[in-house]
């Protein structure tokens, strides 16, 4: 590291961070320090590392522990200036070596990193996926959804990896399918649930990616679906011609401010009941093919295979126990003729079924409304 002008630095954590994360006081970085590359040489460091990786066939990087920069700014112009220089160098190196902007920002929720990152598009939205920690799974889904309200306005939230062969695999996988972000599994070799993966990935390796970052529905924004004992979490997203709505029971675990970690808390063992409506998908009107659409929607439940039609103000009850979920494809109904209506659903075996519809065209022949799919289903 001598060629990069590296020096030993010891993180200086703010009082607020130390109070919320007491473990920082005994962290190896705090006690033993780290070698910080001189900001003037950091592009050289990144470029030499990334060019080596690219030459070996690597097509992207995940850059972890970015928040550490806010603790190292003393003597270097302050934390914002240090972070700015590092991110400029990182962005330039990624642009040179990974031409699809292959970079995921991780542990980067400090505002310095978020606002100094001008090119990196994908940011982890939550804590890690912890396959061996049963406390973590419900709070993970709640955290990524609510964090995406903020992060989704200027970056692409990444809801993290998951295991396809795991007690909470479907719970996690369905959420990734409607997140609008990247989908990737961290399965051990030979330990895969291919039936589950087929609900996420098409035979050509592509995914049915929703168009926006997944976010809580408007009626969930000020509830606490992790610990209030009564609320289900609803997450909405959009496709070209449909919406998608996920419903999750996330009760039972949350951050414990005394123990400074996620812990279980007392919760009801019976199912909680909530409701879903077509208008829970906030922008569903944009998918309507009829300018005179009356708000009626078809809802297809992935879990049960049930298809229902709901007028604008009607609601469908949903009951779920902890760690249970439902995914609904939501499609505006077009009236073709008296007594005849149409609502495309997509590939119903996929979690985000409606993401398969790329084109939709309606024609009127002989006074009757007919539908015709142009380049319709992606396959």
Distance CA 137, CA 323 (A): 8
DSSP percent split of the chain into helix, strand, coil, nearest 5: 30, 25, 45
- Per-residue pLDDT in tens (0 to 9) along the chain, 379 residues: 678 999 999 999 988 888 888 888 889 999 999 999 999 999 999 999 999 999 999 999 999 999 999 999 999 999 999 999 999 999 999 999 998 999 999 999 999 999 999 899 999 999 999 999 999 999 999 999 999 999 999 999 999 999 999 999 999 999 999 999 999 999 999 999 999 999 999 999 999 999 999 999 999 999 999 999 999 999 999 999 999 999 999 999 998 888 888 899 877 779 999 999 999 999 999 999 888 999 999 999 999 999 999 999 999 999 999 999 999 999 999 988 888 889 999 999 999 999 999 998 877 666 554 555 454 444 3
Q: Are 235 and 214 in contact (CB under 8 A)?
A: yes
Residue 347's CB is within 10 A of a number of other CB atoms, namely 19
Token pair for 349 = 């075996």
DSSP string computed for 321-359: -TT-EEEEEEEE-EEEETTEEE-----TTSTTGGGGB--
Quote the pLDDT of residue 370.
Answer: 53
Q: Are 244 and 330 in contact (CB under 8 A)?
A: yes
Distance CA 95, CA 140 (A): 31
Distance CA 301, CA 330 (A): 9
Token pair for 173 = 């996988």
Distance CA 199, CA 247 (A): 17
Residue 109's CB is within 10 A of a number of other CB atoms, namely 17
Quote the pLDDT of residue 340.
Answer: 85
Residue 26's CB is within 10 A of a number of other CB atoms, namely 8
Quote the pLDDT of residue 236.
Answer: 99
Cα–Cα nearest to 241, from 308, 289, 174, 295: 289
Pairing of strands 122-124, 156-158: parallel
């Amino acid at each position: 590291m001598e060629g990069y002008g590296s020096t030993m630095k010891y993180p200086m954590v703010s009082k607020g961070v130390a109070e919320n994360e007491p473990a920082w006081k005994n962290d190896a970085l705090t006690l033993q320090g780290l070698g910080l590359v001189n900001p003037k040489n950091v592009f050289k460091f990144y470029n030499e590392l990334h060019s080596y990786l690219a030459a070996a066939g690597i097509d992207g990087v995940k850059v972890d522990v970015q928040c550490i920069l806010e603790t190292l700014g003393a003597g270097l112009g302050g934390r914002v200036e240090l972070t700015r220089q590092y991110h400029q160098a990182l962005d330039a190196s990624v642009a040179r070596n990974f031409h699809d902007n292959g970079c995921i920002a991780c542990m980067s929720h400090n505002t310095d990193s978020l606002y100094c990152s001008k090119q990196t598009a994908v940011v982890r939205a939550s804590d890690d996926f912890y396959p061996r920690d049963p406390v973590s799974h419900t709070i993970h889904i709640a955290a990524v959804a609510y964090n995406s309200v903020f992060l989704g306005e200027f970056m692409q939230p990444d809801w993290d990896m998951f295991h396809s062969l795991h007690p909470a695999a479907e719970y996690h996988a369905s959420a990734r399918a409607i997140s609008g972000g990247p989908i990737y599994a961290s399965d051990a070799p030979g330990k895969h649930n291919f039936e589950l993966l087929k609900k996420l990935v098409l035979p050509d390796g592509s995914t049915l990616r929703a168009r926006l970052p997944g976010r809580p529905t408007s009626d969930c924004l000020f509830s606490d679906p992790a610990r209030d004992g009564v609320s289900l979490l609803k997450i909405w997203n959009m496709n070209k011609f449909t919406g998608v709505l996920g419903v999750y029971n996330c009760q039972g675990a949350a951050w414990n401010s005394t123990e400074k970690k996620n812990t279980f808390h007392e919760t009801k063992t019976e199912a909680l009941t909530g409701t879903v409506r077509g208008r829970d998908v906030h922008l569903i009107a944009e998918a309507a093919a009829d300018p005179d659409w009356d708000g009626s929607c078809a809802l297809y439940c992935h879990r049960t295979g049930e298809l229902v039609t709901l007028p604008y103000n009607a609601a469908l009850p949903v009951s779920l126990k902890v760690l249970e979920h439902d995914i609904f494809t939501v499609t505006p109904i077009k009236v073709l003729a008296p007594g005849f209506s149409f609502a495309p659903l997509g590939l119903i075996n996929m979690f985000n079924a409606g993401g398969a519809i790329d084109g939709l065209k309606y024609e009127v022949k002989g006074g009757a409304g007919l539908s015709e799919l142009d380049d319709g289903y992606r396959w």
